[in-house]
Amino acid sequence: MAGQIIKVQDHFWRFEEDGVRSFLFEGETRAMLVDTGFGTLPLKKMVTELTDKPVFVVNTHTDGDHTGCNRDFDAVYMHPAEMDYYVRKNPQVYRRESLHAIWEGDIIDLGYWKFEVLLTPGHTPGSIMLLDREKRMLISGDTIQDGNIFMFSDGRNLPAFIATMERMAKMSGEFDTVWPSHSTCPITPAIIPGLLAGAKDLEAGKLTPQEPPWEMPCKLYRCDVAAFCY
């Protein structure tokens, strides 16, 4: 599948790239690109054609399918809890001079958009979500989604994932739409209780292991609303 640009609404686009997506939010004086995909799309060129505002990157987390074009941008923001993982996993796109910190509770104020940073570890140590309280929308990274959630190998932590999902269940009255990096988009907060229950069942050994769809050193555990690669 070739890359696809989808205009969601004024000042908001999503880029579909072989199973992963990035988001572009245009503000009054600058624009925010959430994640940069595998690196197979010319994202820098694509965003420059959509907006004349300077673009900075915010990474929901730094698995390789979210950082592919990081090197092309002069400002890349992430939670510092993610930086060790980022540097180790992404030496080919890491540039020290472009790396900046965002913290839990920071407000990324673009004028039209106003996103609050939530630290939501589990999938990776410094995974974040972005909540626009006024627009009642949540950018959820890989953590809230209805596809395959990778919970095996370096950096994953199931107790942290469960703690994050408990937090998000409590917050679920604060947003109407959830914009994940993979699988169905958008989804609604109605998925959160199922993810929480599924993660708890996984931890308790109650889910049945199946062979994963690709050759991966893990098993696939389906719950009611998604699947865990664990």
Applying CB under 5 A, the residues found at the interface with Zn ion are 63, 65, 142, 181
* SS3 of residue 131 by DSSP: strand
Given the complex with Zn ion, which of 140 and 181 has the nearer CB atom? Answer: 181
* Residue 35 beta carbon to Zn ion: minimum distance, rounded to whole angstroms: 8
Helix axes 192-203, 158-171, angle to 10 degrees: 160
Contact (Cβ atoms closer than 8 angstroms) between residue 14 and residue 6: yes
H-helix or E-strand containing 170? helix 158-171
Size (the chain), residues: 230
Choice between 145 and 172, CB closer to Zn ion: 145
Closest CA to 102 of 80, 87, 82: 80
Distance CA 79, CA 101 (A): 6
Smallest separation (angstroms) from Zn ion to the CB of 36:
12
Residue nearer to Zn ion on the CB measure, 151 or 207: 151
Residue whose CB is less far from Zn ion, 26 or 120: 120
Residue nearest to Zn ion as judged by C-beta position: 142
Beta strands in the chain (DSSP E): 4-9, 12-17, 20-26, 31-34, 55-58, 76-78, 99-101, 107-109, 114-119, 128-132, 137-141, 148-150, 177-180, 209-210, 220-222, 227-229
Of the two residues 26 and 65, which places its CB atom closer to Zn ion in the complex?
65
- Between residues 18 and 211, which has the closer beta carbon with respect to Zn ion? 18
- The residue assigned the tokens 């820098």 is 44
Backbone angles phi, psi at 131, to 5 degrees: -115, 120
Q: How far is the CB of 104 from Zn ion (least distance, A)?
A: 21
Minimum CB separation of residue 154 from Zn ion in Å reads 15
Report the nearest approach of Zn ion to the CB of residue 3 (Å): 16
Least spacing, CB of residue 65 vs Zn ion, in Å = 5
